[in-house]
A = this chain, B = another copy of it.
Amino acid sequence: MNHLVNDIEVIKSKATKIHDVDFDNLAFGKVYTDHMLECNFKNGKWEEPKVVPYQPIILDPSAKIFHYGQSVFEGMKAYKDNNDDVWLFRPVDNFKRLNISSKRLAMPELPEAYFMEGLKTLLQVDKDWIPKKEGSSLYVRPFVFASGKGFHASPADEYKFIIACAPSGAYFAGKIKVLIEEKYSRSANGGVGYAKAGGNYAGQFYPTQLAIEKGYNQVIWTDDVNHENIEEAGAMNIFIRINDTLITAPTSDRILDGITRKSIIAIAEDKGIPVEVRTIKVHEVVEAAKNGSLKEMFGAGTAAVVSPISGFGYKDKDFSLPELENNYASYLKKRITDIQTNKAEDPFGWRYKV
């Protein structure tokens, strides 16, 4: 039966898949809930979003998503606390960034109410799918792509905005080893690196495969001119601790403005940790590793939250990081997840009740 929730039409699934899911052993992003939000852009405007049963997407072979890469996405997590209240983390920032990404790819921007009310309604309908187990969450994937037709390299005239959800465990298991890239690049000056555009990810897969073959988990991207500056890790921003100072690269047209990144900066500053947002030279990190002042490196992103790095490779040499007892990564990870999961006060006003 169809009904309205928050003014959003809901078409309920006739059956549930929830009993097939082992919530104690969740992989990342591999099983999907019973419903999804769907919203279509046609004739120059967004139609009203609907919650519908999770279902296949049917597209003409000429749909521009297959040819010209017009696709953007966001990543968010929903948490359920001990009172079964549901929480999101800074969701309006995801909404804003989705539109920033869309604009750069010549895709139509979404109205805030369609995103936010659609998101809340979907989470209410699929509330039972939100894991409570520590380290697990409901990964929420809003995405927009070109569904309009044509073998002409120009923006599509039709788009789809979907939100799909996947109860998920950890993105990385344990600490990761990274390779500082010397040949390949993720993004260009004046390019789309700051957007969460699909094409930014596909371009990273091959260099990442080469790094994996050498025994690393991820690539640390550097500038495309001389590979002298540390930029980001593709699915994460990068933080580097030299002595007691926490350093991260400034955002730019090449580097994603990560929501976890800026939250980590705020938490660290609130704690009195010296934070520097500035260009990080590769040689500076290598020198610091050699002289012992390099204390920590970690990635920060929605999927991986805070992902400690055990060591890095550069120019065929491996550098190990020390195991510190009172490390920043553990503190920052606990602090941000406690806020996200309603286990601690939220002095920043980031938590958002669904």
Contacts and interface: CB of A to CB of B under 8 A. Distances in A.
Interface in A45-68: 54-63, 65-68
Give the interface residue-count category, chain A: 35 or more
B28 A152 contact: yes
A264 to B, nearest CB: 20
Interface string A208-236: 11000000000000001101000000110
A151 interface: yes
A333 interface: no
A188 B151 contact: no
B61 A164 contact: yes
B166 A62 contact: yes
B141 A205 contact: no
A21 to B, nearest CB: 15
A59 B61 contact: no
Copies of this chain: 2
Interface in A141-178: 141, 143, 145-146, 149-155, 162, 164, 166, 168, 171
A104 B83 CA distance: 48
B198 A197 contact: no
Interface in A260-302: none
A185 interface: yes
B151 A139 contact: yes
A32 B238 CA distance: 47
A221 to B, nearest CB: 10
A141 B64 CA distance: 12
A246 to B, nearest CB: 25
A209 B106 contact: yes
A187 B191 contact: yes
A122 B169 CA distance: 45
Contacts of A225: 189, 225
A104 B206 contact: yes
A29 B152 CA distance: 6
A217 to B, nearest CB: 11
Contact of A69 (B62, B69, B234, B303): B69
A99 interface: no
Nearest 7 pairs of A and B residues by beta carbon = A199-B199, A29-B151, A69-B198, A106-B205, A188-B188, A185-B190, A69-B199
